[in-house]
A and B are shown apart, each in its own frame.
Chain A
Amino acid sequence: EPEVTQTPSHQVTQMGQEVILRCVPISNHLYFYWYRQILGQKVEFLVSFYNNEISEKSEIFDDQFSVERPDGSNFTLKIRSTKLEDSAMYFCASSEIGGFLSGGSGDTQYFGPGTRLTVL
């Protein structure tokens, strides 16, 4: 069964450094998402992306964050200057085009295993 994959599984960085978290969505999916989960807190939406553009972003997704689809398979989240409070598990998700009314499952997001980011 196709899966969303994420690398690395764990990233440790120093405050102020740039990090890039990588995701490979399911191959026929065209909608991509990033969420994060700070330890002990809810999973929070960061951003959605379609057709090389941000579709929606949350208040958390400020100028320190950016997303990119650099090629046909990867989807990345960049944090330009990490802060201690960026420490969290970051999840990538993807969904296909076409909702259930048209026989697709675009209504459903499939998640990767996550990248644990630790900012020291």
Chain B
Amino acid sequence: NAGVTQTPKFQVLKTGQSMTLQCAQDMNHEYMSWYRQDPGMGLRLIHYSVGAGITDQGEVPNGYNVSRSTTEDFPLRLLSAAPSQTSVYFCASSYEHSLYGYTFGSGTRLTVV
């Protein structure tokens, strides 16, 4: 049972480049989300999905795009990377809305130069 798998673990991008952070879970969780973690800021919600074909914005959605074509996968796309997007990104999933807590992936450290 792999839980929540994020790839890559580390990435360096140049300003203006695009890339996709991958997230997959094998627990049949309906809810998936993306957070970014910045020093002194805690974790902030970027986008979330309550099921295949359904996504919505979180607190800090600008510059990011998501889609959910299957229950298992929830990729996060950076359209045109900016230095302000340098951060650690976490994918999380859950069965129901927050009752059981969330299972997190191991994170992706992204640096935009």
A binds B: no
